[in-house]
Amino acid sequence: MSDAGRTVLEVDGLRKYYPIRSGLLQRESGRVRAVESVSFSIDRGETLALVGESGCGKTTVARCILRALVPTAGAIRFSPEQGRTIDLAPLPRRALRPLRRHIQMIFQDPYASLNPRMMVGDIIAEPLLVNGMGAAARQARVQELLELVGLPRSARTRFPHAFSGGQRQRIGIARALALDPTLVIADEPVSALDVSVQAQIINLLLDLQDRLGLSMLFVAHDLAVVRHVADRVAVMYVGRIVEVAETVSLYTRPRHPYTEALLAVVPKADPALRAAATPPRGEVADPANPPPGCAFHPRCPHAIDRCRGEVPELRRIDGGNWAACHRAVELSLAGVA
């Protein structure tokens, strides 16, 4: 699913398990399979959205890429510049240190991610200071970043509590861009904001991506937001990717029943369409004890016998669309659109 010449990030067979311990000796009695065999790629200048219900493993994937978590298995091949590719998964902490400047994160909560005891200028300058930039250069870079995200220069001498939620997220974005990263991971960056402010931040991210040529992994649960920001969308369910497609294709012709169910509950202006919306039935499967076969089959209205006993592989359905669904593959082979 990737082109080595254009690819910034390639995740291949990523797994992250957490042990379940019980008894007096706390022996391992099971595992929570938070991420199971996840693979995807991101090209230069592209935004890939990783979406799914809460608990599906999307934030765990993001933290594994950042190496805030150590993967259980799999490869995370990162190219900070063309012609140089490094597998981040097995690297020790010391070897990761010079690479961290190339991957930065925008956090979900714009207030909790900012130190309330530091002035905004110092917050933005902190990564520059850690990487050895001189005082004069730091000051100039902070002023440049404030202008880039639409904040006045006077903001540098104020504290985070003096700003609104949207302004705080702009500060977080400025800090993430301080070191000119190759890849930005945005973890639910607008979910804590009002709807009107969400639109402003999304437009800012789109403008910055266009101006700076950023590559972005956009983690979200809101498909209404994703539609406006992503070039491609990867849908996760219980630790696995169940569908990957270009954004327009996914919204017009979803191939996995789980994607169809998520799209059905996206807010719609037409009351008739709202009335026809059917949310996913049942409860999300337990990653510590997932059902056999396709994890979605207990909730799927189209499940067939094969779904109950065989885990579907992520396969190309048509064009750039991939789905982990036995029914979608059968329909594709039969020539049914």
Sequential DSSP letters for 244-259? EEEHHHHHHS--SHHH
The answer to whether residue 80 is domain-embedded is no
The answer to whether residue 331 is domain-embedded is yes
What confidence score (pLDDT) does residue 103 get?
96
The answer to whether residue 125 is domain-embedded is no
The answer to whether residue 199 is domain-embedded is no
What confidence score (pLDDT) does residue 271 get?
57
- Helix pair 165-177, 120-130: axis angle to 10 deg: 20
The answer to whether residue 181 is domain-embedded is no
Rg over CA atoms, the chain: 21
What confidence score (pLDDT) does residue 312 get?
93
What confidence score (pLDDT) does residue 225 get?
86
15 - beta bridge partners? 73
Q: How far apart are CA 215 and CA 240, in angstroms?
A: 22
Overall domain count for the chain = 1
φ, ψ for residue 76, nearest 5 deg: -130, 90
Residues contacting 124, CB < 8 A, separation 6+: 142, 145, 146, 156, 171, 174, 175, 178
Express each pLDDT in 237-282 by its tens digit.
999 999 999 999 999 989 999 999 888 877 665 555 454 556 667 7
Contact between 243 and 254 under an 8 Å Cβ cutoff? The reply is: yes
Spatial CA neighbour of 167 closest among 210, 211, 124: 124
What confidence score (pLDDT) does residue 92 get?
94
**What is the span of the domain harbouring residue 333?**
256-337
The residue type at 206: L
The answer to whether residue 11 is domain-embedded is no
The answer to whether residue 270 is domain-embedded is yes
Q: How far apart are CA 17 and CA 71, in angstroms?
A: 8
The answer to whether residue 260 is domain-embedded is yes
Q: Which stretches in the chain have pLDDT values below 50? A: 2, 273, 275
Q: How far apart are CA 107 and CA 53, in angstroms?
A: 18
Spatial CA neighbour of 298 closest among 255, 240, 242, 258: 258
φ, ψ for residue 176, nearest 5 deg: -65, -30
Express each pLDDT in 290-305 by its tens digit.
899 999 999 998 888 8
DSSP 156: G
Residues contacting 32, CB < 8 A, separation 6+: 17, 18, 19, 20, 287, 288
3-class DSSP assignment, residue 241: strand
